[in-house]
Amino acid sequence: MNIVLIGFMGCGKTTIGRELSRTTKMLRKDTDEMIVEDAGMPITEIFQQEGEEGFRKREAELLERLVRGKQDGIIYSTGGGIVIPEINRELLKQMGKVVFLRIKPETVIERLGHDTTRPLLQGPDRMKKIRLLMARRRSAYEETADLIIDVDGHTPQDVAETILANLG
Ligand code: S3P
């Protein structure tokens, strides 16, 4: 079995992926990290040079590669916008059990209020951007998920335990 973590920026896909990997000894892969490694530049620079469109293309190509060379026993942490293209949603479902880590905009702003590494949150009115992006993406996350877990007020350890209990 594989576990695929999806959800908005700041929901804990990376941290919870690490926690799951620690407790289950499953291998963890992170799509953002793989893209950065392939590109040889950080995400902010990919966005500067290739725009969001270029980044999305890299995400879609990576997912296709991962599905083609599908392995078992892997925890995938993904980027928050990976669910936008319909084809990606299909590919994510093929990769394993998809867990949507649901977070409130208020918790995102608490965690990422001063973040400089997410190009889509830079500039004024961060809360408005978060609400808008979240509203646009909500149905994409929901329709891709096998399991939905609310993360607000819970530690990564709590969330990891809940995921494992629910996936049996
Ligand atoms: C993005 C989320 C980021 C990263 C990129 C775009 C998004 O990943 O892929 O900045 O569109 O929501 P995290 O969800 O890990 O922050």
- CA 125 / ligand 1 centre spacing (Å): 18
Check: CB of residue 18 under 8 Å from CB of residue 112: no
Q: Provide the whole-model pTM.
A: 0.98
- Which one of 32, 44, 132 would you pick to mutate in the ligand 1 pocket, going by the greatest count of ligand atoms within 8 A of its CB? 32
pLDDT tens by residue, 157-167: 999 999 999 99
Q: What per-residue confidence (pLDDT) applies to 16?
A: 98
Q: What per-residue confidence (pLDDT) applies to 142?
A: 98
Q: What per-residue confidence (pLDDT) applies to 45?
A: 98
Using DSSP, state whether 27 is helix, strand or coil: strand
Q: What per-residue confidence (pLDDT) applies to 77?
A: 98
Question: Any bridge partners for residue 97, and if so which?
Answer: 3
Q: What per-residue confidence (pLDDT) applies to 29?
A: 97
* CA–CA dist 29, 63 (Å, integer): 12
Q: What per-residue confidence (pLDDT) applies to 50?
A: 98
Asked if pLDDT for residue 168 goes beyond 80, the answer is no
- CA 79 / ligand 1 centre spacing (Å): 4
pLDDT tens by residue, 43-69: 999 999 999 999 999 999 999 999 999
Q: What per-residue confidence (pLDDT) applies to 114?
A: 95
- Spell out which residues line ligand 1, taking CB within 6 angstroms: 9, 13, 32, 43, 79-81, 118-120
Q: What per-residue confidence (pLDDT) applies to 118?
A: 97
pLDDT tens by residue, 81-127: 999 999 999 999 999 999 999 999 999 999 999 999 999 999 999 99
- Which one of 28, 47, 92, 120 would you pick to mutate in the ligand 1 pocket, going by the greatest count of ligand atoms within 8 A of its CB? 120
Using DSSP, state whether 42 is helix, strand or coil: coil
- CA 47 / ligand 1 centre spacing (Å): 11
* CA–CA dist 95, 57 (Å, integer): 18
